[in-house]
Amino acid sequence: TQLLEQSPQFLSIQEGENLTVYCNSSSVFSSLQWYRQEPGEGPVLLVTVVTGGEVKKLKRLTFQFGDARKDSSLHITAAQPGDTGLYLCAGGTTGNQFYFGTGTSLTVIP
């Protein structure tokens, strides 16, 4: 059983389009992180959110933590080929547990 479900699993879009990736759970998390992984590399942290309803922006990427701290979304505006990669959400609990999501593979076509 996966604690953190991501959708969609695969996404292929044209350069310049917008997209949203979702990370959902029935569990409450004290923190939520998003990572991006490029082929042949390890995941790299993009952002950490800790407050319900929190919104963080990183250039064209907008991250939101749900009010109940059970879900999160990643929105990319005007996607670029350099955004291509595997996006992973990860949640931490107050019990010091940490779980990675199922992953979303994004391909941006030039």
For residue 28, state whether it binds another protein (rule: CB under 8 A).
no
**SS3 track for 76-90:** ECCCCHHHCEEEEEE
Using CB under 8 A as the binding criterion, the count of chain residues that bind another protein stands at: 30
Q: Would you say how long the chain is, in residues?
A: 110
For the chain, the farthest-separated pair of C-alpha atoms sits apart, in whole angstroms, at 44
Q: Site map for another protein, 91-110, x if CB under 8 A?
A: -xxxxxxxxxxxx-x-----
* Binding test (CB under 8 A) with another protein, winner from 79, 88, 106, 108: 88
Q: Please say whether the beta carbons of 101 and 24 come within 8 A.
A: no
Binding positions for another protein, rule: CB under 8 A = 2, 6, 30-31, 33, 35, 40-45, 48, 50, 86, 88, 90, 92-103, 105
